[in-house]
Structure 1
Amino acid sequence: MSIAKFLQDGQDPKVVERIHDKIVDMLTSGEFIQYIALQKKPAVTLLPDSITVSNKRIFLCEFTKLGLATNFEIFAWGDIKDIAFKEEIFGSKVTIIPISDENLTIDYIPKVQARKLYQLIKEALEQANNPVFKIETETTVTPVAAPIHETPAPQDHTATHTPSANETTFEITNLQVPEEVHPTPEPTPVQPPLAAVSIPQEEDDELTLKLKKLKNLYDRQLITQAEYETKKTDLLSQL
């Protein structure tokens, strides 16, 4: 399989190919790799750490023992609470925040790759937490219908028999049939009055949403003040 699509942000082809071949062997049915980010320290690093994102999981890879062994930390999207990254002078620190485990951080991820990781993982987490995308297996129990016993129709026991010459005449009349008992119908429950329908508030326009999102990134220290002011000025100039 070609790895060219994983080399668009300056990744080392040899390292990407090595990591790709390892992870492909661990993919499940319907799973595929979306992105591979590689650590890039200021000094030469022959075996950098990496973060790989598939459509189902995230793989944190660390080469050990001069590349003879590999440590993997693997999380499904349902096991991850959030992702955060902090841009520094040399690359970014990317932190994976599991729901029930300690945070895992890989530093010196190039800034372009860190931003791409943040975007992909955020989208995956939003989909994983959206009920529309959750797949639930439900067991439906079909009740077995009870056998229906038909009540035989009352028979008329009044019989008239015309005897022959050697038979005795007999007659049965006025046999009373018990009346059928009908259950008393249950009262129809009174439906509560419908609740008043609240009128949805007017949604913010696109420019306001962008400004709020930009302010949120600045508050979380995901962008610098200079980047915040520059982007804010660009957005306000669109008014």
Structure 2
Amino acid sequence: MRIEPFINDEQDPKTAEKVLGKISDMLTPGEQVVYLAVQKKPAVTLIPDSIVVTDKRLIFCKPGNLGLTTNFEIYSWRDIKEVSFKEEFFGAKFTAVPLSGENLTVDYIPKVEARKLYQFCNQQLERGKEIERERSLEKEKSAKPQNEIELKPVIGEPSQNSFDGPSVPVQPSIQSGTIPAPETAKSLEDEITLKLQKLRGLYEKQLITQEEYEAKKADILSQL
């Protein structure tokens, strides 16, 4: 994995190369690294902690045993409630709050890296929420019963002629059912869901930028 895209904010190249080398062996098919933040203490940081953001997970990398081992704390985005950071005199303290368990914190993150880390994490959290909303819409759609119209024949009473001969039955007639008008609101909901799915597909294929994706998504949702 090339480290150049992840050292634009003055991350330590040696640490970045070491961490990304280990992370590349842990990525699932289609998973991509979005950002890397590296701890930088006021004194020389020989074995810094680091935080890796992927489009599927948030990974805290904490070296141990003088850098010979690394403890990985890994959370999928659906398991993260929120993230926050606090700028201090030296760097910033970044905190992730999981749905269960203790908070995860790394201090002395350079302020520029902390801001971008917070930005990228929130983008992934919002993306996860959008996926859950789309899944909920699909479940609601599949749970709705299909409107069925049953056509029942109405048999007329036999008529009698003026003679005492056999009665002549009236031919059965079919009473036409009344087909309800299309549900405009449901059609609009289906159309918007389809547009969101297509838009997300374009973004995941990197055919549009994050800014274009967010702007178009807001435009589509405003039609509700």
Instruction: Name the structure where helix makes up a greater proportion of residues.
Output: 2
Between the two proteins, the alignment pairs up a number of residues equal to: 162
1:91 aligns to what?
91
Partner-residue secondary structure (3-state), 1:102 = coil
CA 1:63–1:34: 2 relative to 1, 3 Å: same
Instruction: Measure how far apart 1:67 and its partner are.
Output: 1.1
1:17 aligns to what?
17
2:112 aligns to what?
112
Instruction: Name the aligned partner's letter for residue 116 of structure 1.
Output: K
CA 1:23–1:135: 2 relative to 1, 3 Å: farther
CA 1:40–1:55: 2 relative to 1, 3 Å: same
Instruction: Measure how far apart 1:130 and its partner are.
Output: 1.9
Distance 1:134 1:101 in 2: 28
String of CA shifts for 1:155-174, please: whole Å, max 9, x gaps.
Answer: xxxxxxxxxxxxxxxxxxxx
Partner-residue secondary structure (3-state), 1:130 = helix
Partner-residue secondary structure (3-state), 1:126 = helix
Instruction: Name the aligned partner's letter for residue 125 of structure 1.
Output: L
Of residues 5-14 and 129-138 in structure 1, the stretch that sits farther from structure 2 once superposed is 129-138
1:37 aligns to what?
37
1:49 aligns to what?
49
Alignment of 1:39-188 (within 5 A): 39-131=39-131
CA 1:132–1:59: 2 relative to 1, 3 Å: closer
TM-score w.r.t. length of structure 1: 0.57
String of CA shifts for 1:191-225, please: whole Å, max 9, x gaps.
Answer: xxxxxxxxxxxxxxxxxxxxxxxxxxxxxxxxxxx
Partner-residue secondary structure (3-state), 1:122 = helix
Instruction: Measure how far apart 1:15 and its partner are.
Output: 0.5
CA 1:39–1:132: 2 relative to 1, 3 Å: same
Instruction: Measure how far apart 1:133 and its partner are.
Output: 6.6
Partner-residue secondary structure (3-state), 2:51 = strand
Instruction: Name the aligned partner's letter for residue 76 of structure 1.
Output: S
Instruction: Name the aligned partner's letter for residue 15 of structure 1.
Output: T
In our comparison, the structure showing a higher alpha carbon Rg is 1
String of CA shifts for 1:146-187, please: whole Å, max 9, x gaps.
Answer: xxxxxxxxxxxxxxxxxxxxxxxxxxxxxxxxxx9xxxx9xx
Instruction: Measure how far apart 1:135 and its partner are.
Output: 5.2
Instruction: Name the aligned partner's letter for residue 97 of structure 2.
Output: I
String of CA shifts for 1:2-41, please: whole Å, max 9, x gaps.
Answer: 2100010010111000000111111111101011000000
Instruction: Name the aligned partner's letter for residue 20 of structure 1.
Output: L
1:28 aligns to what?
28
Q: 1:93, 1:107 within 8 Å by CA — same for their partners in 2?
A: yes
Distance 1:83 1:12 in 2: 24
Partner-residue secondary structure (3-state), 1:47 = coil
Identity, % of aligned positions: 53
Q: 1:127, 1:133 within 8 Å by CA — same for their partners in 2?
A: no
Distance 1:65 1:52 in 2: 21
Distance 1:92 1:68 in 2: 26
1:8 aligns to what?
8
CA 1:134–1:62: 2 relative to 1, 3 Å: farther
CA 1:135–1:4: 2 relative to 1, 3 Å: farther
Distance 2:43 2:85 in 1: 21
Cα RMSD between the aligned structures?
3.6
Distance 1:52 1:132 in 2: 23
